[in-house]
Amino acid sequence: MRKLLSLILSLMLLLAMALPAGAEAALSEDIVILYTNDVHTYIDGALSYDVIAGVKQELQKQYKNVLLVDAGDHIQGTAYGSMDKGETIIKLMNAAGYDLATLGNHEFDYGMDGCIKVREWAEYPYVSCNFYNEEYYERKDNVLDSYKLFDFGAQKLAIIGVTTPESFTKSTPAYFQDESGAYIYGIAGGDEGEKLQADVQAAIDAAKAEGATVVIALGHLGDDLASKPWTSEETIAAVSGLDAFIDGHSHSTVKGKDVAGKDGEAVLLTQTGEYFNRIGMMVIDAETGAIATDFIELVELTEKSTDAEGKEVENVVGYELASELYTGEKWVSDAAVAEIKDAWIASIDEQLGAVIGSTELTLDNYDGETRLVRSQETNTGDFAADALYWLFDDMGLDVDVAIMNGGGVRNKAVTGEISYKVCKNIHTFGNVACLQTITGQQLLDALEWGARFAGGEKENGGFLQVSGITYKIDSSYPQSIVADDKGVWVSGPTAGYRVLDVMVYNKETGAYEPLDLAATYNLAGYNYTLRDLGDGFAMFDGAVNVLDYVMEDYMVLANYVQAFEGGVVGADNSPLKAKYPGMLLDYGTTNGSGRIVIEVITK
């Protein structure tokens, strides 16, 4: 049925475009919504903000009512976002003509002040029905409007913003607190999703009371199992009155999926994937209210030629846009937006383009399209943790262990030349290295917290890549850690640890020795994990700071690369291994060097 509707819409547009010369076609009364999600500042591809600006302009030649919206996570991800904390990205979104956005968890990555600046820079509003001010553990008013109503004459469209409660731990909980650690901002969730669902239902009811005839959620919830009970599908199933849900957060590619709402009516769920791989397009029929969705995708135009060795090769010579619903020019780019984008890319590439090393290895976190670093050891995870270990060791400080949360390691395959920009694309957040003295028990609790989903289907940004230790995870043993309603660690497991056989490298003996729960160890990490409750790591409360805010994360990597002889990173030529021959150091395979073993142990 949806394909048939798309075909009818396309035929209607073609007929309108075939009018005699001089005749002016009436603009369609249908509502068009263009949408993006999880762009994460990947602006340097062929499909970018200049193209989406051109697409919107093309559609405005055919439709009276055209909106452009974003479902979150647009200011963080690469150096193009982090170098000015998202300001230029917002300039691009303003220039492209965005009409509305909601907050993703990464809109909080530059602190609450940074989040406020983003909203001040934006010439379009942000909406969220479940992001609120909190005082003395009581909910006060919402920080943002819950929805925006667009009056299109016969149709009144309400778009409701929804923000994931995972923002507390997938950003930094400290950003939501005052100096004493009391929460002053809240994001409604609930242990079973009930608070989130109540806020969404309240927004739907308020919008309808204001005359909305069509209600669409613009949410950053996702359909990832790790986000339960706050996923988009669970939310849809618990509320009534929604017509569609434009989603983000899980980086899923969902062209259009019917999900039954509480009243049994089908709600159309859609999400564009990630990194500007495609643009979403939704058309709401003005007469029937029927909703169709499609993706506007990039098609490479190629030509064959012969290389210097006489072999036939295909070269990309241009691009087209392909979609069943989009019938504008096949390739468009707004010159003003492109000028802003190109100037910013050139500026960042110049600042960070200096080559500092190289590698013939492939430092990676993926197996095909499967992201590994949040569920198992990877060679890039090892490399990142070793860089932290090396930083403090090379400073002459006593460091025993280093940890790196998997969610902070963002790259796909890295090989060849290594520049500051490459390092920045591995570590995009701008976190700062710290060294703390902790107990063995705190370290065990941290490993257990990171390993609580290991061996299952859920990803976990808090999965810990490590240096200076090895450990095993019994994937068959159920996790029983106690966490609060915001997903922050409260206490260790009530039914025993999944993490076993933790061994710490002893620099004096050159051997790995069993972890002593009563002993103290010096732990290297980033402020996100050690100090700001990132990913819910609260077990370090009471740790003693040895040295804080030493170096930004991408510079920690660059410092480590430059410590290799000639800046050439090989499988086993780490300066750490040269200094400590007994350390387990081998970057030769994506799956790492065997520091973390995940297996079924319980019978």
pLDDT at 19 over 50: no
Average per-residue pLDDT for the chain: 92
pLDDT at 60 over 90: yes
Q: What pLDDT does 136 receive?
A: 65
Pairing of strands 544-547, 433-439: antiparallel
Among 99, 112, 111, which residue's Cα sits nearest to residue 71?
99
446-458 residue pLDDT tens = 999 999 999 988 8
Provide DSSP, 58-111. Answer: HHHTTEEEEEEEE-S--S-SSHHHHTTTTHHHHHHHHHHT--EEE--GGGGTTH
Other C-beta atoms lying within 10 Å of the C-beta of residue 242? 25
141-172 residue pLDDT tens = 999 999 999 999 889 999 999 999 998 877 77
283-327 residue pLDDT tens = 999 989 999 999 999 999 999 888 878 888 888 889 999 999 999
Stated as kind and residue range, the H or E segment containing 152 is strand 147-152
Could you list the beta-strand ranges (E) of 164-242: 185-187, 214-220
Query: What gap in Å lies between CA 294 and CA 238, rounded to an integer?
Result: 26
Predicted TM-score (pTM) of the model is: 0.77
Q: Which CATH number fits domain 2-13+35-350: 3.40.50.620, 3.60.21.10, 3.40.50.300, 3.90.1300.10?
A: 3.60.21.10
Q: What pLDDT does 15 receive?
A: 44
Supply 336's token pair: 């003003």
Residue written as tokens 């690469």? 78
Cross-strand pairs, 215:
158
pLDDT band at 364 (very low <50, low <70, confident <90, very high): very high
Query: Higher model confidence: residue 351 or residue 569?
Result: 569
495-511 residue pLDDT tens = 999 999 999 999 999 99
For 355-599, CATH gives 3.90.780.10
Among 28, 71, 94, which residue's Cα sits nearest to residue 292?
28
Q: What pLDDT does 593 receive?
A: 95
CA-atom Rg of the chain in angstroms: 25
**For the chain, where do the domains classified as CATH 3.60.21.10 start and end?**
2-13+35-350
Q: What pLDDT does 171 receive?
A: 74
Angular region, 468: left φ>0, alpha ψ -120 to 50, beta rest: left
Give how far Cα 354 sits from Cα of 350, 359, 401, 419, 420, Å: 8, 15, 31, 5, 6
**1 class by beta-carbon count within 10 Å (0-12 exposed, 13-18 middle, 19+ buried):** exposed
Query: What gap in Å lies between CA 163 and CA 142, rounded to an integer?
Result: 12
177-205 residue pLDDT tens = 888 888 899 999 999 999 999 999 999 99
**For the chain, where do the domains classified as CATH 3.90.780.10 start and end?**
355-599
Query: What gap in Å lies between CA 105 and CA 72, rounded to an integer?
Result: 8
222-279 residue pLDDT tens = 998 878 999 999 999 999 999 999 999 998 999 999 999 999 999 999 999 999 999 9
Strand order in the sheet with 511-514: 511-514, 499-506, 469-474, 596-599
28-57 residue pLDDT tens = 999 999 999 999 999 999 999 999 999 999
Q: Are 256 and 285 contacting, i.e. CB atoms less than 8 angstroms apart?
A: no
Query: What gap in Å lies between CA 460 and CA 471, rounded to an integer?
Result: 17
Query: What gap in Å lies between CA 108 and CA 166, rounded to an integer?
Result: 11
Stated as kind and residue range, the H or E segment containing 577 is helix 575-579
Supply 256's token pair: 């259009």
Q: What pLDDT does 474 receive?
A: 96
Provide DSSP, 340-379. Answer: HHHHHHHHHHHHH--EEEEEEEEE-SEETTEE-TTTS--H
Q: What pLDDT does 117 receive?
A: 93
110-149 residue pLDDT tens = 889 999 999 999 999 999 999 999 876 688 899 999 999 9
Supply 3's token pair: 């394909």
Query: What gap in Å lies between CA 424 and CA 323, rounded to an integer?
Result: 34
Residue type (1 letter), 105: N
Q: What pLDDT does 23 receive?
A: 45
pLDDT band at 24 (very low <50, low <70, confident <90, very high): low
Could you list the beta-strand ranges (E) of 290-339: 291-306, 312-322
Q: What pLDDT does 111 receive?
A: 87
Residue type (1 letter), 344: W
Q: SS3 of 496, please?
A: coil
Residue type (1 letter), 328: G
